[in-house]
Amino acid sequence: MTSTRALPDGYCVPVHQSLTAPILLAGAPRLATIANGTLAAGLGVGLQLWGVGLVFWIIAQGICVFAARRDPQFTEVLVRHIRHRSYYEC
């Protein structure tokens, strides 16, 4: 329920959506897009496997876009998951 009282001057601050939205490039997080592009360029230019590099980029970018639609911060979660050790290993 919202209050109908008027606020004094200076107490109403608009929050723009761009301040809270994640930074995405081509629908995927910036870090993942740069990593995909770098690996694809390495395959294409370094090994001269242009077709393999293009196919790799399309598949990897598609997977990252799919994951970003579910959770835009999946790269941060993945990095944290890899860093932390499992305490209940047998």
* Domain assignment of residue 54, yes or no: yes
pTM above 0.75, yes or no: no
* Domain assignment of residue 42, yes or no: yes
55, two tokens? 């196919």
* Domain assignment of residue 3, yes or no: no
Domain enclosing residue 49, as ranges: 24-83
* Cβ neighbours of residue 33 closer than 8 Å, sequence gap 6 or more: 24, 25, 26, 61, 64
State how far the Cα of 57 lies from the Cα of 37, in Å rounded to an integer: 7
* Domain assignment of residue 88, yes or no: no
Range in 15-19, 43-47, 54-58 the model is least confident about: 15-19
* Domain assignment of residue 68, yes or no: yes
- Confidence (pLDDT) at 2: 58
* Domain assignment of residue 13, yes or no: no
* Domain assignment of residue 56, yes or no: yes
The pLDDT > 90 percentage for the chain reads 49
Longest Cα–Cα distance in the chain = 67
Written as one string, the DSSP assignment of 17-78 is GGGTS--EETTEEHHHHHHHHHHHHIIIIIS--HHHHHHHHHHHHHHHHHHHHH-TTHHHHH
- Confidence (pLDDT) at 16: 85
- Confidence (pLDDT) at 41: 95
Q: How many domains does the chain have?
A: 1
